[in-house]
Amino acid sequence: MSTVEEGDAVTTFDALDTMVADESMLRVRRAVAQLSPKQKEVFTLRLEQGLSYKEIADLVGSTEGAARVHYHNAMRAVKEFLDDE
């Protein structure tokens, strides 16, 4: 007869947590995928590379203000996508 130990409970919790995290990541990935190419480019450079708006503007051939607008529009679109799901 097997007994339930404290370690088993922790393991079950970790697996569930991992599943939730994986699902959350999948949703975020889908949200980013539906962005426009320009939004996705700026969003990715800002978050993944940690570039400033000035650096992004230099890279994509735009202005600092335009890069800021693209980023915030992208973030708003991601939030709306996650809210609608």
Partner 1 sequence: MNDCQNIAVREVLPELVHGALSDVERVRVQEHLDTCDDCAAELAIIRSVLRTTPAVTVNVASIAAAIPPYRRKSNGMRRVYMELAAACLIGAVGISAFALHNSRGAVATTAPAVAASVAGLAIVNTGELSDDGLAELTQDLDNLQAMPSADPESVTPVALEEIAPLGAVGDSQ
Strands of 3-78 (E only): list them: none
CA–CA distance, 3 with 55 (Å, rounded to integer): 59
CB 62 → partner 1: shortest distance, Å? 18
- The least CB distance from residue 41 to partner 1, in Å, is 14
Residue 53 and residue 67 in contact, taking contact as beta carbons nearer than 8 Å: yes
Closest to partner 1 by CB, 40 vs 62, is: 40
Q: Could you list the residues that contact partner 1 (CB under 8 A)?
A: 21, 24-25, 28-29, 32, 43, 46-48, 50, 72, 75-76, 78-80, 82-83
